[in-house]
Amino acid sequence: MQLPLALLQSLLAMLLLLPASLPFSSGQARADEATGPFFLMGSGRLHLKNLRNGRETRVELLRPDGSLDETALSEVDRVFGFPTAEKGEHISPRLLCMLSHFVDRMAPGATIHIESAYRSLEYNDGIRRKGANAARTSTHMDGMALDFWLAGVDGKKLWQTIRETDCCGVGHYGGKSIHLDSGRPRFWEAATSGTKNPEPDYNRFLYLSTNFDRYRPGSRLRLSLSGLSTFGFGVRPTARLQPAAATDQEGSPLTLSDSGTADCVILADRRATRFLLFTLPSGLPAGRYRIDLEFCNRPFPQMPAGASSNVIEVIGSPRAERAEDR
């Protein structure tokens, strides 16, 4: 049986646009890079200036308790030109926290001059036809990327600094600006970007990511796919939670929310691929893990049979042993 996710989108959008609380207790101190929701955090303070639409803002992404500030995220969406209501989500908070981390490191307080932010499919196709360095499956279309520069900071040096962390996607086409995205860790320069390759993608470069890097046992976890060229494929309703270092274990099952009795849940469009919701076991021990997802109804034999997520860290005691739950 194949079950489309279209009927779930309105409910998911409402849930995702509620104030963006983290999988940590509300009384926790302000997030930092040892305990925050992402491995790379920064101060959360950003001064953004979009050179294409003229919009500018200063935001603080984090509330004092470490939760993401909904108003700040919506303001970033406005500057990026991101259609929040249509997408049911925000510009990638992981991207914004990484951006804060590297700006704090290279030029604290500097204005982030944005040359390219969110792109619609139509806009991305248009600039590709004009010869721009734009990938068919650009992470700009998923709200996971920006091209930017910092006054007084050498673009090549900034690119090298980010590249050394192996955290994300970072590209340099020459000059002062770089590309940064929260997709699959990789790096490139103009000669190695591959954006002019006419060969079809066949979903070969897809990437599976979690909404946070750190979680408490029993937290809800959202998986999203990016880097896709074709939709209408499916996922098996049971994912596998694996210790990060494991290579041949079966892992613990995680059931896709609202999957019913389907053995192949069809992802009909881009939005459906962004909202795959699971709940971590309440007794999950602290440690590092990844999630393995299996695909079905693949449109091409070249498409991978499955994908593994980025590594996540589970911190704190299992819910059953936490004092506040006794």
22 pLDDT above the threshold of 70: no
Tens digit of pLDDT for each residue in 33-54?
677 899 999 999 999 999 999 9
Tens digit of pLDDT for each residue in 107-116?
999 999 999 9
- Are 255 and 278 contacting, i.e. CB atoms less than 8 angstroms apart? yes
11 pLDDT above the threshold of 60: no
Instruction: Identify the pLDDT of residue 301.
Output: 97
pTM for the predicted model, two decimal places: 0.88
Tens digit of pLDDT for each residue in 200-214?
789 999 999 999 999
Kindly provide the residue ranges of all beta strands, DSSP E only, lying in the chain, ordered along the sequence.
2-4, 45-50, 56-60, 111-116, 145-150, 169-172, 178-181, 186-189, 207-210, 214-215, 220-226, 234-235, 238-243, 252-255, 264-266, 276-279, 287-296, 306-308, 312-314
Mean pLDDT of the chain: 88
Q: Which residue has the tokens 């393995």?
A: 292
Residues 164-182 have a mean pLDDT of 97
Instruction: Identify the pLDDT of residue 316.
Output: 86
Tens digit of pLDDT for each residue in 242-288?
999 876 677 899 999 999 899 999 999 999 999 999 999 999 999 99
Q: Which residue has the tokens 């699971």?
A: 278
Instruction: Identify the pLDDT of residue 58.
Output: 99
For the chain, domains (ranges, CATH) are 31-192 (3.30.1380), 207-325 (2.60.40.1930)
Instruction: Identify the pLDDT of residue 29.
Output: 42
Confidence of residue 227 (pLDDT cuts 50, 70, 90): very high
